[in-house]
Amino acid sequence: MWRRRSLVAAEDRRTADLLMWAFAWLGLGDIGHVGFRVVAFALGGLDVSVNMFGNRLLLAPMGSLATAITFTIFYVLIVMMWSARYNKPYGGLGYLLFALAVLRLLIMTHPANGWNSMQAAQPWSMIRNLPLMMMQLGVAYLILRDARAAHDKTFIWIGSMILVSFVCYAPVIFLQQQVPQIGMLMIPKTMAYRNTGHTIMKS
């Protein structure tokens, strides 16, 4: 995306920059999520901890925290991208989505989230993910509403892939502890974002 910025028309530059930064944050979070686990395995297993500021922290959960933060930022940037693409004011729904992002980040600061545990703390795991899922639905609605009106095939695809991500993500949040195998839905969820990035690169 960075290499091809010069090919973007001037009127689309802000949209392109927001998309680029959104996927940069998404990638950064995934590097933390996967990378911390790789390092933990290399050091002996997922229960490996490190000393940070006088506290013993498990590496793997810290990766989960990193991706939870960057995933929230990703959707904030996608809302901004929608506004730039269609020259729309944020309006009530847009500001609600920003408020949901702030709410999610505030919820994530509560000690009951158990970020230093390998086991997702319930019901806090569900509570902190509800604002994110509402953001996904709201963003998909805004993009699909305006992309369809503008016959914008690229952004119709982006909105559709956000819905695919939601459909894959929601069952994991609600059912993973009862049915651990349902976590496999994170694979098509990841592929939805990969397909979105690929579509953007071609357009």
Q: Provide the pLDDT for residue 197.
A: 56
> Measured between alpha carbons, how far is 25 from 31 in angstroms, rounded to an integer?
10
Indicate the angle between helix axes 91-108 and 59-86, nearest 10 degrees.
170
Q: What is the pLDDT along the chain (203 residues), one digit of tens a residue?
A: 888 888 888 888 899 899 899 989 988 888 887 888 888 888 888 788 888 777 888 888 888 899 899 999 999 999 999 999 999 999 999 999 999 999 999 999 999 998 888 777 788 888 999 999 999 999 999 999 999 999 999 899 999 999 998 888 888 878 777 777 887 877 777 777 666 655 555 55
Residue 138 bridge partners (DSSP) = none
Considering the domain boundaries, does residue 2 fall inside one? no
Q: Provide the pLDDT for residue 182.
A: 81
> Measured between alpha carbons, how far is 203 from 196 in angstroms, rounded to an integer?
11
Q: Enumerate residues 6+ apart whose C-beta is below 8 A from 78.
A: 18, 22, 139, 143, 162
Q: Which secondary-structure segment (H or E) carries 51?
A: strand 49-52
Please tell me the pTM assigned to this model: 0.86
Number of structural domains, the chain?
Answer: 1
CA-based radius of gyration for the chain: 18
Q: Which tokens go with 107?
A: 């919820």
Considering the domain boundaries, does residue 38 fall inside one? yes
Q: Provide the pLDDT for residue 39.
A: 86
Q: Provide the pLDDT for residue 199.
A: 57
Considering the domain boundaries, does residue 4 fall inside one? no
Considering the domain boundaries, does residue 1 fall inside one? no
Q: Domain of 176?
A: 9-202
Q: Provide the pLDDT for residue 202.
A: 55
Residue 85 carries which side chain, given as an amino acid letter?
Answer: R
Q: Provide the pLDDT for residue 128.
A: 93
Q: Provide the pLDDT for residue 144.
A: 97
C-beta separation of 89 from 83 below 8 A: yes
Considering the domain boundaries, does residue 154 fall inside one? yes
Instruction: Give the closest residue to 146 by CA, choosing from 155, 138, 137, 158.
Output: 155
Considering the domain boundaries, does residue 3 fall inside one? no
